[in-house]
Amino acid sequence: MPENARATHLDAVRERNLASVLGAVAHHQPVTRARLAELTGLTKTTVTGQVAVLERLRLVVGADPVRVGGRGRPGAPVSLAPGPVAGLGLEVNGQYLAACVLDMTGAVRARATVAGDNRGRRPDATVAALADLAGRIAAEAAASGLDIVGTAVALPGVLVEDRVNAPNLGWDAVPAADLLTAALPVQPFGVTVDNEANFGALGELWYGAGQGAGSYLYLSGETGVGAGIVVGGKLFRGAHGAAGELGHVVVDPDGRPCRCGGAGCLEQVAGLDALLRTAGIPDASGTAAAGLAELERRLAEGDPAALQAAAAAGAGLAIALTGAVNLLDPDTVVLGGIHARLAPWLVPTVEAAVARSGSRLRGRTPAVRAASLGTESAVRGAAGTAIARIFADPGALA
Ligand SMILES: [Zn+2]
């Protein structure tokens, strides 16, 4: 092997070892170097060297000594450092902007939401407002001794070759990652952009109702309806990154025309605008958040039009999700966004349909439940993704 190829190979091995030791610390903390050597299959000398690097990068710290089996000389274990290294999650929603800072242990250290209508707002104006929010929350994090090293941004759109199409925001081929990279301070891990349903699925998988699920389906209900698909613990993105556009699955071939070019799409019965329209709640009466609150109030009172809207949404969701369940065989379906808020009126219908369809084929029925992080699923998943990038390549902090 030529000298420089050999050096590159050794660097790659060292980087892999560093990530593997950091991952083992995360899963087994507090953990001694001797135990880390057993867990990773590396020599004790290598582990000691890598732990020293991780300590220098401020990713792990010494924990209180533990006695293995309660006797003998206590080992000197290490744990993940609850700072200063931190990741930032941001979200652009039709009705709000959100931000969330996580430290390496996955703890939420700062969060903020700014209400406001982002639909039809100029993309550069939305990006500027998001950068402003990011700056404020980074300053708040810095005051608690945290240093943000990477950012991930959840958008209600589809990424096509680094450009974002988000019809519900009025975005057409917007270079969101480039705009945000230019607007935010330089960070070792830079800016990652992805669909909000994908981040929502990861948020619920890591911190919410999807925990422990190997393959599961996360439904994100907003103005649009999207799905995040997790297969074997990883996101399934499809050939072009557009997998999970469940909102444009046809649930009524004779239904309303949809802005995607089709007709009778799920979004036309189960999206927020459709629900408010059927319930007779004018969007103009206030913000969409107020519209949703009004819908919940009318549902609780048993208002017939509101109940009809929820029934139509439930029936549409039942058709689309039955198809998805038969295609993907997930162990759990998690309803997020507005559908988490409307879960009492939607879950029974969806659960019954999913249980009925294919019941003679499948051994067991997937559980249907509401997201447990509420409207925070996507921003938490985004922040978690920023942290996951550090775990995958901690050497990049050097
Ligand atoms: Zn459509």
Report the DSSP beta bridge partners of residue 195.
155
> Separation of 323 CA from ligand 1 center, angstroms?
16
How many whole angstroms from 67 Cα to the centroid of ligand 1? 60
* Mean per-residue pLDDT, 295-300: 95
pLDDT, one tens digit per residue, over 12-45 is: 888 889 999 999 999 999 999 999 999 999 999 9
Tens of pLDDT along 126-181?
A: 999 999 999 999 999 999 999 999 999 999 988 887 888 888 888 999 998 898 88
Q: Is 205 among the domain residues? A: no
Does 89 lie in the same domain as 76? no
Pairing status of strand 85-92 against strand 147-155: parallel
Quick count: other Cβ atoms within 10 Å of Cβ 165? 15
Cα–ligand 1 centroid distance for 58 (angstroms): 48
Residue 241 CA to ligand 1 center (angstroms) comes to 17
- Residues counted in the chain: 398
User: Comparing 203 with 363, which gets the higher pLDDT?
Assistant: 203
The structure tokens listed for 71 are: 């006797």
Residue 74 confidence (pLDDT)? 59
Total number of domains constituting the chain: 3
Domain membership of residue 387 as a residue range: 85-200+378-397
Mean pLDDT score of the chain: 90
Residue 164: which of 180, 175, 151 has the closest Cα? 175
> Does 186 fall in a domain?
yes
What percentage of the chain has pLDDT greater than the value 90? 66
Q: Residue 265 C-alpha to ligand 1 middle, in angstroms? A: 5
Closest CA to 192 of 393, 382, 390: 382
The rounded Å distance from CA 255 to ligand 1 centre is 11
Give domain status of residue 207, yes or no: no
CA 254 – CA 14 distance, rounded (Å): 59
Neighbour-count burial of 157, counting CB atoms closer than 10 A to its CB (0-12 exposed, 13-18 middle, 19+ buried): buried
Same domain, yes or no: 22 and 41: yes
Q: Report pLDDT digits (tens) over 70-85.
A: 555 557 899 999 989 9
**Distance from the CA of 355 to the center of ligand 1, in angstroms?**
26
User: Can you spell out the DSSP letters for 1-53?
Assistant: --HHHHHHHHHHHHHHHHHHHHHHHHHH-SB-HHHHHHHH---HHHHHHHHHH
Could you say which of 61, 80, 99 is where a domain stops?
80
| pLDDT at position 247 over 60 | yes
- Give residue 83's pLDDT: 83
In a domain, 206, yes or no: no
Assign residue 18 the CATH number of its domain: 1.10.10.10
Q: Is residue 123 included in any domain, yes or no?
A: yes
pLDDT at 133: 95
Q: How far is the CA of 259 from the centre of ligand 1 (A)?
A: 6
277-293 confidence digits (pLDDT tens): 999 998 654 566 788 89
Contact 321, 217 (CB under 8 A): yes
- Give 263 Cα–ligand 1 centroid separation in angstroms: 6
Task: Name the residue with tokens 């209400």.
Answer: 115
CA–centroid distance, residue 313 to ligand 1 (Å): 15
- The mean per-residue pLDDT over the stretch 221-248 comes to 89
